[in-house]
Amino acid sequence: MRIIPAIDIIDGKCVRLSKGDYSTKKIYNENPLEVAKEFEANGIQFLHLVDLDGAKSKHIVNHKVLEKIAARTNLKIDFGGGLKSDEDLRIAFESGANQITGGSIAANNPTLFLSWLDRFGSKKIILGADCHNRKIAINGWLENSEIDVIDFIQDYKIKGIEQAICTDISKDGMLQGASEELYKEILLKTKIDLIASGGVSSINDLEKLKRIGCVGVIIGKAIYEGNIILKELQKLC
């Protein structure tokens, strides 16, 4: 199982939110590159980098942060947030993203999203399936759709998507454990390569997610608040 720390960016700074609420913003470091380098120094190979300004603005904003981290570390970066056009995608890949995650675009403009999948392949394009009460959330989680998360993933699995990141927004940043039952259901019904996100609070949570078959897990606030120590993750990596 891939261990994937997250760096969320607002105004070029490393922040965390609770349940996706921008009013709960807490700044952890004003230099995301420092955070990324610390991850790499502790054996981390993967990074989930989210442009929260981009998600809110509906176009890529913090690509310079991506460029800097990609140029000065060897981390394999999955980048998301505000990718709504071919130009956004071009900027993300040229700035050093190894993969991109599309959530809102997959819900709102499936034709464009599928054209990206055709052009770049399923190794480069990840489906973002973030949900609240099982309904897909869009536009930086500021809006809810009426699309069921299982149906959403199943539909894109049929169309060629191999990997999906699912965040249960009600758990995100709360440090109360991951949505294990939801992830079990997704794995059972869709057979997708699932990367779990949201609520991870301890090494025990990681072990549970590995047991149920997640191919990766994204960890955010648990690292920044010291619930999970990087040295512990180093052993897992």
Task: Give the tens place of pLDDT for each residue, 10-44.
Answer: 999 999 988 888 999 999 999 999 999 999 999 99
8 flagged as catalytic: yes
Contacts of residue 30, defined as CB under 8 A and 6 or more positions apart, other chains included, come to 12, 13, 14
> Quick one: how far is CA 153 from the chain centroid?
15
Q: Over the stretch 72-115, which tens digit does the pLDDT of each residue have?
A: 999 999 999 999 999 999 999 999 999 999 999 999 999 999 99
Which pLDDT belongs to residue 108? Answer: 93
CB–CB of 168/18 below 8 Å?
no
CA distance 9 to 184: 30
130 flagged as catalytic: yes
Q: Over the stretch 127-172, which tens digit does the pLDDT of each residue have?
A: 999 999 999 988 767 778 899 999 999 999 999 999 999 999 888 7
Which pLDDT belongs to residue 5? Answer: 97
Residue from 152, 86, 83, 160 nearest 122 by CA? 160
Each domain of the chain, given as residue ranges in start order, spans 2-236
Among 53, 78, 130, 172, which one carries the catalytic annotation? 130
Among 8, 53, 78, 172, which one carries the catalytic annotation? 8
Two structure tokens written together for 9:
């960016």
Residue 4 above 70 pLDDT? yes
Which pLDDT belongs to residue 140? Answer: 67
Which pLDDT belongs to residue 214? Answer: 98
Which pLDDT belongs to residue 148? Answer: 96
Which pLDDT belongs to residue 130? Answer: 93
Which pLDDT belongs to residue 138? Answer: 83
* Superfamily name and number for 2-236: Aldolase class I (3.20.20.70)
